[in-house]
Amino acid sequence: MKSAISSLISSRNFNLHRSSLSFSIFRRPSLLLPSQFPVISTDDKATGANFTSLRRKCRFHSTKSSPIMASSFNPEQARSPPAVPLPIPPVTKFKIGLCQLTVTPDKQRNIEHARKAIEEAVGKGAQLVVLPEIWNGPYSNDSFPVYAEDIEAGGDASPSTAMLSEVSRRLKVTIVGGSIAERSGDKLYNACCIFGTDGKLKAKHRKIHLFDIDIPGKITFIESKTLTAGQTPTVVDTEVGRIGIGICYDIRFQELAMIYAARGAHLICYPGAFNMTTGPLHWELLQRARAADNQLYVATCSPARDVGAGYVAWGHSTLVGPFGEVLATTEHDEAIIIAEIDYSLIELRRTNLPLLKQKRGDLYQLVDVERLKSE
């Protein structure tokens, strides 16, 4: 059995992701294994969520006698490499806190303000806290270089992430730290740092798709004037499940969410600052679509609206469930949303609508280039 497991790790999961960031999910390979076996974790028992029984239902649907089986269409080939099984998360039910914060030009104030918001969210039971995109200073090409921090250097070179590290360790909370401008050599990125309950940086996502749009008379913004795009998707195993990360405009690219789902994400977090044009048009639509199409949770966190700012954010931070249902949301004022996530619903919805088994790998295939190269 041991050799089978080792073989599984080396031939599949590990190699699939070996090109990921060094602090990615493979620090904790134990999280990857349970899904292969019919184990009910203590957490599952405690919460009443029973992944094993759900999986048994799934197996029913994948038996040859089931009319839902359609193996001749090669559903597993609809993703290349094939999708990994949904891992059993360390916790099934927990509370998420979305901190829709006001952001001012005063960086020190923004950092202290975010710290207090995280503390408040944790005080209300949140085990995962999400911050907005660009929360330590104004969202503008002029401000990015001014507020940028050297995240890798850490300490005084990055007071924003130092605060996140301190508070995550002190309160034993997982933090998806919104985003800040990151300085790395002569380049600037829009970067999201994920901290574990031990205060360590578990992953860093650099916005892959830069926000370059032009709707004349409404909104024109060319983020690539100052920022460089990230080079890799980011999925990270945390104490609250496997989380895919996108920043704002990344949400428009359905392929990224599809990749995350195929990598076994339970939840995709998109810190984002949509605006007064694209916000009402697309913000909720895109969140619900990513969740429903991929049958997983989606959480977004925006800055609160400041009508006096150069860039006016739409607000409306939201948690969406795996049926595309809005579970919690808010308007545009500052707010902390506390809402419950129940991962057992992912398997339930995938049993209700077995889309993964119904995909037509004989007709289409989404390639995850990074995973494929690493095989």
Q: Can you give the binding site for a copy of itself, defined by CB under 8 A?
A: 61, 67-68, 70, 73, 78, 80, 208-210, 212-215, 222, 224-225, 229, 231-233, 252-256, 258-259, 281-282, 285-286, 288-289, 292-293, 323-325, 351-355, 358-360, 362-370
Catalytic-residue membership of 207: yes
| Min separation Cβ 73 and a copy of itself, Å | 7
Residue 79: φ, ψ to 5° = -125, 140
Of residues 135 and 314, the one with the C-beta less far from a copy of itself? 314
CB 206, CB 169: distance < 8 Å: no
Among 99, 192, 248, 301, the one annotated catalytic: 248
| Min separation Cβ 208 and a copy of itself, Å | 6
Helix (H) / strand (E) element for 355: namely helix 355-358
CB 232, CB 20: distance < 8 Å: yes
Helix (H) / strand (E) element for 145: namely helix 143-147
Which residue type, as a one-letter code, is found at position 21? L
Which residue type, as a one-letter code, is found at position 197? T
| Min separation Cβ 348 and a copy of itself, Å | 9
Neighbours of 99 (CB within 10 A): 27
Residue partners of 186: CB distance under 8 A and separation at least 6: none
| Min separation Cβ 181 and a copy of itself, Å | 17
**Number of residues that this document lists for the chain:** 375
Cis peptide before 67 (omega within 30 of 0): no
The rounded distance, in Å, linking the Cα atoms of 155 and 214 is 38
Among 202, 207, 357, 359, the one annotated catalytic: 207
Catalytic-residue membership of 107: no
DSSP-based three-state secondary structure for 314 = coil
Which of left, alpha, beta for 217 (phi over 0: left; psi -120 to 50: alpha)?
Answer: left
The rounded distance, in Å, linking the Cα atoms of 324 and 291 is 5
Of residues 37 and 60, the one with the C-beta less far from a copy of itself? 60
| Min separation Cβ 10 and a copy of itself, Å | 24
Of residues 94 and 297, the one with the C-beta less far from a copy of itself? 297
Among 58, 93, 133, 182, the one annotated catalytic: 133
- Beta pairing, strands 174-176 & 126-130: parallel
Of residues 162 and 289, the one with the C-beta less far from a copy of itself? 289
Catalytic-residue membership of 95: no
In angstroms, the Cα distances linking 177 to 39, 103, 222, 265, 269 are 32, 14, 23, 18, 10
| Min separation Cβ 251 and a copy of itself, Å | 10
Of residues 68 and 157, the one with the C-beta less far from a copy of itself? 68
| Min separation Cβ 84 and a copy of itself, Å | 16
CB 326, CB 249: distance < 8 Å: no
Question: Among all residues, which ones are annotated catalytic?
Answer: 133, 207, 248
